[in-house]
Structure 1
Amino acid sequence: MEDKKINIIQQAIKLFAQKGFSTTSVQEIANECNISKGAFYLHFKSKDELLLAIFTHYSKEIEQKTAAIESMDLDPRTKFVKQLTVTYQEIIKHRDFIIMQIREQAIPFNEDIESFLQHMRFHSYLFYKRSLLAIYGKKIDQTIWEVTLLMQGMFKAYMDLIIIEEVEFDIENLCKAILKRTDYLVEGFNRNDDQPVITDQLMNEIIPGDFYYNQLDTIVHTLEEIKEKASGDIEVTITVLLEEIQKPSARPAVIKGMLSNLEEEESFKGITGQIRTFFQL
């Protein structure tokens, strides 16, 4: 995203947090950015479009940070705790903006925002599912979706205490505690041979099949953009990686080998983390 758009987003989020979404005018946002009202409309057609851009911008920041952690040489438990921790920390940064949305019920209903929120829900379901499978393996095969939804419920309950009630936690210790409580859930299901309410069939009805392909399309598009600017060994690595991940039966060993080459450079850790998450590597 270009710098001018990012500046508008950053200034707008401050104004929305201070004054509210509905009472903040486009002119006020333009004034804060030292641009004309006409210049604002060159970047965003409306405040609704700006609000969607804010959601997208900050959700991508969280995704990039969690993806970078995915590339680290850590055991699955440590990795997941770090990812939960950075997610909480990023949300806390924008507490005032979130409170504004709650008080005003400021999210306007339109197809673009509804589609974005749906995408984020689906992305969250799959992120938790893949992380928990990496931690518990076959032990959680039959109850993966049940545990995924219950763990997300814990995350949201603590988030309400932090955002709404202003409770201060040691965030890393809180995330370790959430995962420990998830251990109890997994052990309880296995010990009692309990049958899950949330099944694969149910979640397959909720999450459309093309959502998985859309995620892969995004990864491919990002790699193609990187390849255009790359040269030498990096260009070769990305070419091989692009060919492999688009095969009907992609070979994990080949993907891992190509990712290990890219992960030597800090700037590639975001995209390599996304690939590792998608292919559960």
Structure 2
Amino acid sequence: MTKKQLIMEKALELFAKQGFEATSVQQITDLCGISKGAFYLSFKSKDELIVALIDHFMRQFTSDIDFVVSEEDEEVLLYNFYYTTFHSFNKHSDFAKLLMKEPAQSFNEDLFSKLHNYNKSLEKVILSMIERLYGEQAIDMKYDLLFCIKGFMSTYSELFLVYKLPIDLDLLVQSLVEKTNLLAKKTTISFIPDELIQLIDQPTNEDPSSEKVIEVIEKNIDDLEDSIEKESLILLKQELLEPTLHPAVVKGLLTNIQHHPHCKWTAYLLRKHFGIK
């Protein structure tokens, strides 16, 4: 574990107990057993640390969902989409609860911008899933379905994040699959037209240049010890600089890094860059 990862892990423990505002840099460094100087070598401020934590969670969540939508067969796609969503919420429940209870004034403009961009990225993934599952059948209803699915994700997560109820995840997912299919196949009145989406749509930073992707890859390479993930990242970086590999080889390299917790966002960006579905 790098010093930066240690700071993020220990800070999250304190944030979960005390909240963002009540937690000081001194408390974080004391828990880590490091100096303030070491902290500021990794993060310029506590705000930058908070953004990094949320960045880390949202990158993993978005890339996990995108991987499911890209790779799963239609027969199990919707089930695995919901299962991955709620499994991730449950796995990171302390952090998710922290985001839900933290007052909005604790978030700076940079954080709001990042959350907006991740939200738009997630919406694109969900729309892609709707198009795969329902095609022309739901073309007029796709945005209504998008907001319904996002509503299911948010509302049902409260059962274990807020009320801490024991949840049968399999039954929950089956129920939401049934509800979503009924909405897609039986709803006839569309409320959200393309024109409304165009009014609320804003550009996102989800498609960075090759140079930006290379920067992300190089950071991963520096952070990882020798492993198949590190070797795969080196080859993928070379492919960005001088394309020579067959698409099947590139896809295999992406598979190698997909499930590493510190490479998921890199895999997501590379899948978009190479157009791999």
Task: Classify the secondary structure of the residue corresponding to 2:192.
Answer: coil
Task: Classify the secondary structure of the residue corresponding to 1:261.
Answer: helix
Aligned counterpart, 2:94: 96
C-alpha separation in 1, matches of 2:23 and 2:240 = 48
Give the residue type in structure 2 aligned to 1:5.
K
Work out whether 1:10 is the aligned partner of 2:9. yes
Deviation digits for residues 168-195 of structure 1 (CA, Å, limit 9, x no counterpart):
2222432232122111111222xx4x2x
Deviation of 1:272 after TM superposition, in Å, equals: 6.0
Bigger mean CA deviation after superposition, 58-67 or 134-143: 58-67
- Residue-pair matches, total: 255
Task: Identify which of 187, 198, 205 aligns with 1:204.
Answer: 198
Task: Identify which of 164, 181, 186 aligns with 1:183.
Answer: 181
| 1:272–1:13 CA distance, 2 compared to 1 (3 A) | closer
Deviation of 1:202 after TM superposition, in Å, equals: 1.0
Deviation of 1:215 after TM superposition, in Å, equals: 2.2
| 1:223–1:170 CA distance, 2 compared to 1 (3 A) | farther
- Identical columns (%): 25
Aligned counterpart, 1:112: 110
Task: Classify the secondary structure of the residue corresponding to 1:35.
Answer: coil
| 1:70–1:155 CA distance, 2 compared to 1 (3 A) | closer
Bigger mean CA deviation after superposition, 6-15 or 82-91: 82-91
C-alpha separation in 2, matches of 1:41 and 1:239 = 37
Greater relative contact order (Cα < 8 A, sep 6+): 1
Deviation digits for residues 67-115 of structure 1 (CA, Å, limit 9, x no counterpart):
443554x313523432332222222233233434444426614210110
TM-score under structure 2 length normalisation: 0.78
Give the residue type in structure 2 aligned to 1:114.
F
Deviation of 1:237 after TM superposition, in Å, equals: 8.7
Aligned counterpart, 1:248: none
Task: Classify the secondary structure of the residue corresponding to 1:66.
Answer: helix
Give the residue type in structure 1 aligned to 2:85.
T
Aligned counterpart, 2:135: 137
Bigger mean CA deviation after superposition, 3-12 or 166-175: 166-175
Can you give the 5+ residue segments of structure 1 that lack an aligned partner in the other structure? 243-256
Bigger mean CA deviation after superposition, 18-27 or 267-276: 267-276
**8 Å contact 2:8–2:53 — kept in the other structure?**
yes
Give the residue type in structure 1 aligned to 2:234.
K
C-alpha separation in 1, matches of 2:135 and 2:23 = 49
Work out whether 1:83 is the aligned partner of 2:81. yes
Give the residue type in structure 1 aligned to 2:186.
G
Give the residue type in structure 2 aligned to 1:207.
D
C-alpha separation in 1, matches of 2:92 and 2:6 = 16
RMSD over aligned CA atoms reads 3.2
Task: Identify which of 219, 229, 232 aligns with 2:234.
Answer: 229
Aligned counterpart, 2:33: 34
Aligned counterpart, 1:22: 21
| 1:154–1:102 CA distance, 2 compared to 1 (3 A) | closer
**8 Å contact 1:44–1:50 — kept in the other structure?**
yes
| 1:15–1:151 CA distance, 2 compared to 1 (3 A) | same
C-alpha separation in 2, matches of 1:158 and 1:113 = 25
Work out whether 1:217 is the aligned partner of 2:217. no
Aligned counterpart, 1:246: none
Can you give the 5+ residue segments of structure 2 that lack an aligned partner in the other structure? 219-231, 259-263
**8 Å contact 1:22–1:106 — kept in the other structure?**
no
Deviation digits for residues 25-78 of structure 1 (CA, Å, limit 9, x no counterpart):
111100111210121122222222211111001111223333443554x31352
Aligned counterpart, 2:121: 123
C-alpha separation in 1, matches of 2:197 and 2:26 = 44
**8 Å contact 2:207–2:272 — kept in the other structure?**
no
Deviation digits for residues 185-228 of structure 1 (CA, Å, limit 9, x no counterpart):
11222xx4x2x1111111122122x42xx322267743684898
**8 Å contact 2:74–2:133 — kept in the other structure?**
yes
Aligned counterpart, 2:225: none
TM-score under structure 1 length normalisation: 0.77
